[in-house]
Amino acid sequence: MTPSSSPPSHDRVENRAEKVQMIVDDFSRRMEDWGRKAEHFGRTAAASKVGERLKNLPLLDPVRYKNILISLLKLLVAFELVSAFMQGLKTQSWLRFGTDLILAGILFIMWERIAAKFRERKIIARWKVENEPQKIPIWDAFLFSLLWSDEILRDIPKDRNRFVVISYTLIAIAVVASFVQLGTGLMPLVIAASLVMAAVNLLIWVVSLERSEKETLQTELRLARDVQMSLMPKTHPSLEGFDISGISLPAREVGGDLFEYSPVGDNNGRFGIAVSDVSGKGLQAALAAVFTSGAFATEVRRSASPADILSRMNRVVYSHSRRGQFVAFLLAVLDIRAKTVAFANAGQTKPLLLASGRVEWLDAVGVHFPLGMQDESTFEERTVQLEPGDVLLLLTDGFTDAMNSAQEAFGNERIEQFAGRPGLAQRSAREIVEDLTAEVQRHAGEMPQHDDMTLVVVKVP
């Protein structure tokens, strides 16, 4: 007979119940701890996220903010017109509605029509504001502010955008305050004027910082211009049997164009004229032009061949210039005894020859890539016989590409027409330089010069 299991005693049951209760209590305490930790962690994470968002508040682009403000102003004008119209229906007095309608029409014409009508004059208006700060008429300043508003805002550095946004916010609040008439009497006007004054002060501060930085940069550019101009000839060369004159007009304070004169090789009756144009404008182009000038001064002593000189210079420019920056370079070597000109062209505008009443663009032979485009470029040269009365024009594309207000370039055809004028061969080289420069400037009119202009004229009397 198998003995049956005896029932547990009362003490053992109580002990087991206590253990279970202890386990339940311990689990509850753990859950409460976990709950408190989770809650604390959640609050901390949320607070951290909110803090990050507050620290890095999204900043509206000033152009977008301006558009929002304009839309708000349009809504306010529409609301005012509707309100005036309803008042007119109620009181049968249409003075307020008529006045508001006329003012709204004027605002619309100012904003929409002026911008459309004078869009082609944008560049001229900007040039006047930037180059005639002491005598700019208020109309030109007003026109400039309308036509170039988006461009002006985009030119503001990002670290100062917030001040522009704050200024717009203050102006928007001033408009709302004036419209809803906060306070009584003159208080709405005082509040609006205070807000606008604060906004204007912020904008003046931003502009003053920009002006200070611009003046510092202009000082540095003037120094760079002095260095660049010091490399160019101060006087015209005096060569037996030749009349030579040149000019270089940078589009900015400093540019990438340069012209130089130098004896060539052992100076066995040979004289070199170099015309170069570095890609780009401003300080970088000027520094590259100075470096190219140094390379030319070194290589021109080693050979009398323009092709050999350019091939040597190409290796130096390629190894020392930034990738993507090239130098268009034309070297013409005059043989004083033989009355010939040998030239090699590395991507520069073709020389223009007036000979026996015929105008001809002189094509180069062989490779004519700009200097610095390829590691190894072997240039070739072409020799042309010159006769008494011949005129040779060495120029950069600043002359041919000069634009007028209708966006028409001066072009090669006008250069040809100028060179083919009767009596040009009787003018001196200096007079030809002055005449062509004046012709191009008349074509451009009020349009600012957008590219460097360099010209050397060689005449055989």
Question: Looking at beta carbons, which pairs linking 361-367 to residues 24 or more positions away fall under 8 Å?
Answer: 361/412, 366/307
Query: What is the reported pLDDT for 396?
Result: 92
- Phi and psi torsions of 383, nearest 5°: -115, 135
- Whether 269 contacts 277, CB under 8 Å: no
Q: Give the largest Cα separation in the chain, rounded.
A: 149
As a whole number of angstroms, the distance between CA 28 and CA 34 comes to 10
In contact, 268 and 304? CB cutoff 8 Å: yes
Cβ(391)–Cβ(420) under 8 Å? no
Phi, psi of 253 (to 5 degrees): -60, -40
Q: Bin 389: left if φ > 0, else alpha if -120 < ψ < 50, else beta.
A: left
Give residue 49's pLDDT. 52
- Domain boundaries, given as residue ranges, for the chain: 62-224, 234-459
Q: Kindly tell me if the per-residue pLDDT of 233 is higher than 90.
A: no
User: 290: which 2 tokens?
Assistant: 């100075």
**Hunting for tokens 């012209």 — which residue is that?**
259
CB-CB contact of 93 with 100 (8 Å):
no
Could you tell me which residue, 132 or 372, shows the higher pLDDT? 372
Tens-place pLDDT, residues 350-389: 999 999 889 999 998 887 889 988 888 889 999 999 999 9
> Is the domain 234-459 a CATH 3.10.180.10 member?
no
φ, ψ for residue 262, nearest 5 deg: -165, 140
User: What residue has token string 């701890």?
Assistant: 33
- C-alpha–C-alpha distance, residues 447 and 445, integer Å: 6
Global pTM reads 0.58
Burial string for 291-314 (b: 16+ CB within 10 Å, else e) reads bbbebbeebbeebbbbbbbbbbbb
Alpha carbons 181 and 165: distance in angstroms, whole number:
24
Q: What is the pLDDT of residue 229?
A: 73
pLDDT at 177: 76
**Long-range contacts at 233-237 (CB < 8 A, ≥ 24 apart):** 233/259, 233/260, 233/261, 236/429, 236/430, 237/261, 237/271
Whether the predicted pLDDT of 220 surpasses 90: no
pLDDT at 21: 57
